[in-house]
Amino acid sequence: GSGESGAPLEIPDLNGSESIPVEGLGQLIAAERSLADDARTAGAPATAVNDLVTASGQLDQQLAGLQALADDPAQAAAATARVEQMKRTATSANVAFATALLRDADAKVQSLPRNAQSPTVTGTLAELRTSVESSASNTDPVQSLGAARDALAKSQAFSAAITGAYTALAANKAKTE
């Protein structure tokens, strides 16, 4: 099920603008929610999805607090600090999501019998691991969101490979019985 919801949302640059990027942060929150929905639809582990949902709730609260500060020039420093806090919240949620996908994949491969491990399984797991490890140092929320989406796609490819491995295992077992 890849529908239109997987399309990347246009999020304005959250860095270097003179004003507080309230609209851009609102779009970032919407993109985080969209990722959580897509992950849930794709059958991602609940632990991974729940972290994104929790982060979206935190971001909503942080944005509400920011909106109260955004138009007051005397609150500029506090507003800027809130923006940075929101970027960190989103980025760490995206990294945690990708890491949870990798943990889930590692657990699944551990329970797969040795004789069922195929090049497709090991290859898709390696791609997921590379994706997650390269995104772990991301500090930009929009880049980390893209990396989290990439990890979700690679996790889905891994899940398909695992399903294929179990199907092949069952077919081979049926032949030998």
Determine the pLDDT at residue 1: 32
CA atoms within 13 A on the CB side of 142: 13
Determine the pLDDT at residue 19: 74
Q: CA nearest 94: which of 167, 39, 156?
A: 39
Q: What pTM does this model have?
A: 0.87
Residues 53, 32: Cα–Cα separation, whole Å: 8
Q: CA nearest 162: which of 128, 131, 136?
A: 128
Amino acid at 130: T
Q: Structure tokens of 122? A: 């090991």
> What one-character DSSP code corresponds to residue 19?
S
Residues 92, 32: Cα–Cα separation, whole Å: 12
Largest pairwise CA distance in the chain: 78
Q: What is each CA distance from 20 to 63, 91, 99, 117, 131, in whole angstroms?
A: 11, 18, 31, 51, 31
Residues in the chain: 177
Q: Which residues of the chain have pLDDT under 70?
A: 1-10, 12, 16-18
How many CB atoms neighbour CB 130 within 10 A? 12
Residues 89, 121: Cα–Cα separation, whole Å: 33
Residues 80, 22: Cα–Cα separation, whole Å: 11
Determine the pLDDT at residue 116: 86
Q: CA nearest 45: which of 111, 121, 122, 98?
A: 98
